[in-house]
Structures are given as C-alpha cells and as structure tokens.
Amino acid sequence: MEKEQQDKLNAFINENKGKRKFTQSIDLTVNFTAIDFSKQENRLNMEIRLPNGRGRVSKVIFFGDDRNLVEKARNAGAEVISGSDIQTVANDKMKLNSLLENELIAQPSLMPQIAKALGQFLGPRNKMPRPVIGSDIGTMIGNMNKSIFIRNKGKYLPTIHCSVGTEGMDPKQLSENIDEVINSFARKIGKQHLKSVYVKMTMSKPLRLL
C-alpha cells in the first residue's frame, strides 16, 4: 500500500475506532469490471491467508467419527458433532442457526450425509463445511483463524465483500492484510479487472482506498 493510501487508512481508523461498545470489524469491498462472474470459469472460490490474521478467534466445529481426527480436533479446541448427531442438528433450529456463527469442517466420508441433512440450510448461506484433507487437522484448525474464504454467490454481482481484521489491530497490519487480498485477486483474475476498493468498519461510512 502506497504512503498516501496508508495515511488515509490511518486517519479513517483513528476517526472511527472505539465509538461502539463492541469491537468493529474492518471490512473490504472490492468492485470488479469487465468480468462476468455468472460464467463458471470466472467465479472466485479461494482461500486467502491473511499475514496478520483476522483479529478475532472463531470457534470451529468438526463433523467427524474417526477417533484419531476427533481427538486431534478436540485438542485444537474444536467442538465435535458425530455422524449420528447430524440429523438431530438438522431438526434443531437454534443449533442450525448457531452453525452460521462458527467455522465448519468435516470428515470427507460424512460430506454426503451433511449435504443431505444440512445442505439446504447451509448451502445458500455459503457455510457448507470444508472437508479435512489428511490427518493434520490441528494445523487446519489453527489456520482457519488466519484465513478468509472468498466465493461468488447470489446473483454473481461484480463485487466481493470480506473482513480483513478488526479495529483493535495496528493500521500497518491491516494494510498488509488488505494488500494480500487485493494482490490475490490480481493474481487470480488479472489486475485489469479491479475497479475500486472500499474499506469500512461495521458501523462506519465506507472510505475509498483504490
């Protein structure tokens, strides 16, 4: 991020932080041009590792039966839902809604069962669990609080919204996170398709950065 942009970001954060009784998220809106996301080949489906993390820790829920994975998941602080409990969750409205507030991962063999019981609820909300690849589930859980997951959805509008941190983070850390998101998009689809970038806090007005 160039000095002029960094100065704008610093002023924006200093002006708006600490004005609410909760920690506000720092959210990014990236607008694209000359690209049709309704075409499958153009859609974004990517994980971006933020160099300074997301500024908050989310709870992880693991759907699994494998004893080895279950033990590792619990040791890493995740809640475990067994395969036999998936339908029970599907019938519990409060539990269903609570899933939306957490990061979800699953043993691959349970994905068909999850899709059948929970897909209609989680799918449209872009919250289907990510399958665990390999046995290093502890590292995967640790990395989930450092990464954001980008996916086009809805009417495939040329806009992506994502969180890049919180107001409690240092502005330099936030700028590095923002740079990583923008550069990841540029590498994926080309810099020429990036039209504008706005940053805002949860309850603030947006600021145009690019």
Could you tell me where in the chain the CATH 3.30.190.20 domains are found? 3-55+147-208
The pLDDT of residue 173 is above 80: yes
Out of 3.40.630.40, 3.30.9.90, 3.40.50.790, 3.90.700.10, select the CATH number for domain 60-144: 3.40.50.790
The pLDDT of residue 154 is above 80: no
What does the pLDDT look like over 59-81, one tens digit per residue? 999 999 999 999 999 999 999 99
Other CB atoms within a 10 A radius of the CB of residue 17 amount to: 18
Question: Could you tell me the CA-to-CA distances from 48 to 11, 117, 150, 151, 200 in Å, in that order?
Answer: 26, 29, 8, 11, 19
What does the pLDDT look like over 85-109, one tens digit per residue? 999 999 999 999 999 989 999 999 9
With cut-offs at 50, 70 and 90, classify the pLDDT of residue 58.
confident
Among residues 46, 11, 7, the alpha carbon closest in space to that of 130 is found at: 46
Average pLDDT over residues 23-28: 94
Q: What is the chain's length?
A: 210
Q: How many helices (H) and strands (E) does the chain have?
A: 7, 10
pLDDT of residue 181: 97
Out of 3.30.2130.30, 3.30.70.3040, 3.30.190.20, 3.40.605.10, select the CATH number for domain 3-55+147-208: 3.30.190.20
Per the prediction, the chain carries an average pLDDT of: 93
Tell me the C-alpha distance between 148 and 181, whole Å.
9
Question: Could you tell me the CA-to-CA distances from 204 to 16, 20, 22, 55 in Å, in that order?
Answer: 7, 10, 13, 18
